Structure 1
Amino acid sequence: MIHMVRFNWPKYLVAAVLLVAAAALPWPWRLLAVPGAAGVAVSLAATWWVYDRSRLYEWRWALDLVPPPRRYAVISTGLDEISPALRGLLPDAEPTVLDCFDPVIMTEGSVRRARRLHPPPAGAVPAGVTALPVADGGQDAVFLAFAAHELRVPAQRAALFAEVARALRPGGHLVLVEHCRGAATVAAYGPGAWHFYPRREWLGLARGARLTLAGETTMTPLVRALVFRR
């Protein structure tokens, strides 16, 4: 949760200033601060629940959904939080970490701050979402966690899914982890939930890339892992 606050601190600062200003209003106008304070508290609690208290970053759940890969790729678009955990979980596998950060495409301030605070790991390979530097059919699995939604143009997301499908061997798996926008995310993050996409968006992209839904699980009602098979 602390990381998320650091990446998004301007938004929290603005919220804090507005809350202080509302609390300074004469009664009963100061009651306007109550829904704002509740919204910030709910957002922080949801973030803590997802990132600090759920099983998300253990990643053992993934091996309940896909066979342990011998070769796999991790794709990030600014912040790679998962490759160290996967290396520990799959010590005998051959990983490829693909860094798809592009400052022209990823213009969100939070992504840029995350990038400055957490540079890509040693050995990460610079990549483009329309041309992943991996061989056709060379990967048993591709892991894409909290990265695809940073591509705000539909054609970019479609190109990335097509590249993932090309990189996977027949029978290989894409493990996609995202906040899928729905009632729970709207309740937790308010307007911020529209930074994410609904489950049907990812299902449509997978169909377009000729990937088949093979399984899914949830880490709290806010985060969903979708597994697609080539």
Structure 2
Amino acid sequence: MELKRGKFQGVLNILSFNRHFYIIGISILLVFGLSLYIINWNITIFWIVIIAFIYGLIAPLIVSAYVYDFSGYYKMSWLNNLKLNSSKITQIVNINAGFDETSFILNKKFETAQIRVFDFYDSRRHTEPAIVRARKVSSVFPNTQQINSRQIPMNNKSADIIFLLSALHEIRSNSEKIDFLKECKRILKPEGHLIIVEHLRDLPNLLAFSFGFTHFFSKKNWLDVLKKARFVETRESKFTPFMSIFVSKI
């Protein structure tokens, strides 16, 4: 089975998984609009607020369409820029937080490698409504294993590449992230790579997601937790202005 993405799947996912924000936002917008007939608003302030609300609702959808539907993210062409030696890759690990749109794609891209897929979602710790909804509709790669974020059931130095694609930010605690990354380091081969793809808490994502950008972490935070997990080398590259690729080695 291969996961087939529909047109504007990224936008539809954002709307579906974060519908509580859109319901609240549209409700507030309607109430504020009706208040014009009750309160003697300064018309300039009124329209500034209206435009700001509309921008806050629409901008994430436009950016999501760009990143997830039109940039080629799910074609994995960005992996070519990392100059990985595919002929020497025998063991791929893909770890998600219960929403998996990439394992089937990676399995096809690295046809000669074995892929193991893990899901670190813990309903007691990872309580974001969006990820709870995403889990209900996610396609599950065969033999996906549910794991604790502090223990990956693999031997030391057994993985060539570990992928964490838009997943690790669901672990909100830095200490939990560090413990998890130490486990990733343990199972990586000496010449292996840890590949993390994330939105950042930075200006482009502030402009795209307004206060929703606080769901992401800063570049400084990612470099700090990777350093504390004792990854000795990390390089960052950009995939669109809104997403960063961190490649770490041990």
TM-score > 0.5, shorter chain as reference: yes
Q: Which moved more, 1:171-180 or 1:214-223?
A: 214-223
Distance in 2, Cα, partners of 1:214 & 1:148: 16
Count residues with an aligned counterpart.
Answer: 230
Residues 101 and 139, structure 2, Cα contact 8 Å, conserved in 1: no
Q: Corresponding residue for 2:7?
A: none
Q: Which moved more, 1:20-29 or 1:107-116?
A: 20-29
Distance in 1, Cα, partners of 2:92 & 2:139: 21
Residues 70 and 93, structure 1, Cα contact 8 Å, conserved in 2: yes
Identity %: 26
Q: Corresponding residue for 1:16?
A: 26
How big is each residue's C-alpha offset from its partner over 1:143-197, in whole Å with a ceiling of 9 and x where there is no partner?
0011111111111100111000001000100000000111111111111111100
Matched, 1:50 2:60: no
Q: Which moved more, 1:201-210 or 1:91-100?
A: 201-210
Residues 213 and 226, structure 1, Cα contact 8 Å, conserved in 2: no
Distance in 1, Cα, partners of 2:219 & 2:46: 39
The root-mean-square deviation of aligned C-alpha atoms, in Å, is 1.5
Q: CA deviation at 1:30?
A: 4.3
Residues 193 and 249, structure 2, Cα contact 8 Å, conserved in 1: yes
Q: Corresponding residue for 1:126?
A: 146
Distance in 2, Cα, partners of 1:67 & 1:55: 21
How big is each residue's C-alpha offset from its partner over 1:5-59, in whole Å with a ceiling of 9 and x where there is no partner?
1011110111111112222232626423221012211121111111111122111
Alignment partner of 1:91 out of 111, 122, 147? 111
Matched, 1:100 2:120: yes
Q: Could you say what secondary structure the match of 2:157 adopts?
A: coil
- Aligned AA for 1:67? N
Distance in 1, Cα, partners of 2:20 & 2:192: 41
How big is each residue's C-alpha offset from its partner over 1:109-156, in whole Å with a ceiling of 9 and x where there is no partner?
101000112153221011111000111100000000111111111111
- Aligned AA for 2:85? P
Structure 2 residues without counterparts, runs of 5 or longer: 1-10
Matched, 1:73 2:93: yes
- Aligned AA for 2:91? R
Matched, 1:208 2:225: no
Alignment partner of 2:77 out of 57, 60, 68? 60
Whose Rg is larger?
2
Alignment partner of 2:174 out of 154, 160, 168? 154
Q: CA deviation at 1:214?
A: 4.8
Distance in 2, Cα, partners of 1:53 & 1:63: 18
Distance in 2, Cα, partners of 1:76 & 1:25: 44
Distance in 2, Cα, partners of 1:50 & 1:64: 17
Q: Could you say what secondary structure the match of 1:135 adopts?
A: coil
Residues 14 and 61, structure 2, Cα contact 8 Å, conserved in 1: no
Q: Could you say what secondary structure the match of 1:21 adopts?
A: helix
How big is each residue's C-alpha offset from its partner over 1:188-209, in whole Å with a ceiling of 9 and x where there is no partner?
1111111100111111122122
Structure 1 residues without counterparts, runs of 5 or longer: none
Q: Could you say what secondary structure the match of 1:33 adopts?
A: helix
* Structure-2-length-normalised TM-score: 0.87
Matched, 1:218 2:221: no
- Aligned AA for 1:52? D
